[in-house]
Structure 1
């Protein structure tokens, strides 16, 4: 069944249903990918979004090879991918010889990177977020490369505006976000050197029932912990929509590569989100702090023009999340740390 706004479920019963929904393609995704020749390789496939992005690609193009590359420290992830017809290759992307031995897929989605624990080993953070992209950009110089980045490369923007569009120069706080600027610059440099087509996907907060801004807020409400609203406004997007837009970018690459913001089109108040989740959960949110006039916010007009609005809207995400958390369904245990203002993760 294709994904449409008219056939979304009222609730998501369990992880299997969640995975199936995240891997359900829309006709628009299928149509875009059919304009792109060749197989798809996902580098760093074992992260939060990688498995379902690869699963979505395979569901949209069942007759094409989809190859997932990672270290696969969790063997269950590799088994999950293989069960869906996705080939897997074990590779440490810091190992130059292993990287160069990978098959040269004409389409590459780069998802490798380091955020959680970034402050604990900053040299590793820079190696993963800037050195590895330089290696990949050279090894796959003849491919299309859609590389995941982050909206955190932007400076804070006024909450009463539209957020940063792609013309705003990166100027972020903290070494994590600075290293992500390094990632972009490496792909940009080698794209110019080798005329490699690509896009830099500046993603703001994907939402999956097991993690994300809404999961963080809902969990705090249930546990009676305070919700800091000093960073009081956010963008976010359903992970399935974010994955679909990333894959569709393969049909909308630029030479040299260029950034594109991927998130929801709305600037949302954390205080309002907490109130709506609290109503559904039957708990009064505990609010701490007060809203600052700026936040990490992006303008997604370019993506909306290319892809249309996300299929899953904010109200449905709130309903799904409240139901999931209320039933004590599984969590990845990886808070987004959306409320952090100093860039230290």
Structure 2
């Protein structure tokens, strides 16, 4: 993306940016065989990811059945997804009969999972993040599967390390992160048992003006609340760039399962980002705590070597986020809890 708008003025313009496929993704869809299903399509990431797939099909001149599955608590969200030409199926993925009734398409994107409030219902957290992946790996054993994981499976690492690599040993902190490693292990087991091509996406953190680490920090600054510096460093990637990389990962799915970190190239400082938001909002910034020498950081060089550099710089996303919030536009109200260091989300 080279022609950036000064600010994003509407939900429609934001969706246009989030779901705009690269030329490489359009070419991928000319080659990709079979239909596509998105399990857990509702929420933060699924709609724009599936919309990008639909737009890529259209621009590639190919026809595919694109299906989104969710409990769809929000009827307006379901209607919006359907307006893009995406078929929807309502149901509970933990209901084995329902899961087994779904169309057995060639390409599966698994987005279901639990994070927010996971400490309040740990059994459901493990069911969604580990048990359900085992069911999906079994049910879609004849498909290609791209499954979202998280950089939280890595330990906190020294800031100067440049972030965890895919070859580093996972050492998840807390039950949420442990359950996410369980998700990976279940897909790895299915991949080995059935020779199912699998790609595991360790994402942290995707951002756009309605949610993400930048919104979390901006909210503190805008509302004159102190910004905690203890988790003083982080990585982010524009959600549209993450969507593009995730779709293209389907061609790298393999048995045994293939793993990739998806995030931005920069190690950002919470202090610097807060100060910049202070300038944009005209606010004095207050801080609490001091930067620890470790943080949850990922190294995405493997992704850059395969898919190229991010198209939207963090500085532009930061500016878009500030302008969006200045105009009091809708936020998703889902804090990332990126500042958590003990794994208790």
Q: Are positions 1:118 and 2:123 aligned together?
A: no
Q: Are positions 1:16 and 2:12 aligned together?
A: yes
Corresponding residue of 1:104: 104
Corresponding residue of 1:54: 50
SS at match of 1:254: coil
What's the TM-score once normalised by structure 1's chain length? 0.97
Shift of residue 91 of structure 1?
2.0
Q: Does structure 1 conserve the Cα–Cα contact (< 8 Å) formed by 2:150 and 2:204? A: yes
Corresponding residue of 1:326: 326
Cα distance in 1 between the residues matched to 2:240 and 2:66:
17
Give the alignment of 1:60-75 within 5 angstroms. 60-62=56-58, 63-75=63-75
The answer to which of 275-284 and 42-51 deviates more is 275-284
**What is the alpha-carbon root mean square deviation over aligned residues?**
0.9
Cα distance in 2 between the residues matched to 1:114 and 1:261:
20
Cα distance in 2 between the residues matched to 1:334 and 1:32:
32
Cα distance in 1 between the residues matched to 2:50 and 2:193:
29
SS at match of 1:225: coil
Corresponding residue of 1:156: 156
Corresponding residue of 2:311: 311
Q: Does structure 1 conserve the Cα–Cα contact (< 8 Å) formed by 2:25 and 2:56? A: yes
Q: Deviations over 1:215-248 (max 9, x none)?
A: 1111110100011010000001111111111111
Q: Are positions 1:222 and 2:218 aligned together?
A: no
Q: Are positions 1:281 and 2:277 aligned together?
A: no
SS at match of 1:6: coil
Q: Does structure 1 conserve the Cα–Cα contact (< 8 Å) formed by 2:2 and 2:311? A: no
Cα distance in 1 between the residues matched to 2:16 and 2:333:
21
What's the TM-score once normalised by structure 2's chain length? 0.97
Q: Which runs of 5+ in 2 are unaligned?
A: none
Q: Deviations over 1:91-133 (max 9, x none)?
A: 2111111101100110000000000110111000000000000
Give the alignment of 1:291-302 within 5 angstroms. 291-302=291-302
Q: Which runs of 5+ in 1 are unaligned?
A: none
Give the alignment of 1:260-275 within 5 angstroms. 260-275=260-275
Q: Deviations over 1:55-81 (max 9, x none)?
A: 111011132221001111111111011
Q: Does structure 1 conserve the Cα–Cα contact (< 8 Å) formed by 2:19 and 2:243? A: no
Shift of residue 7 of structure 1?
2.2
SS at match of 1:260: strand
Shift of residue 275 of structure 1?
1.1
Cα distance in 2 between the residues matched to 1:328 and 1:286:
22
Cα distance in 1 between the residues matched to 2:125 and 2:149:
14
Shift of residue 332 of structure 1?
0.7
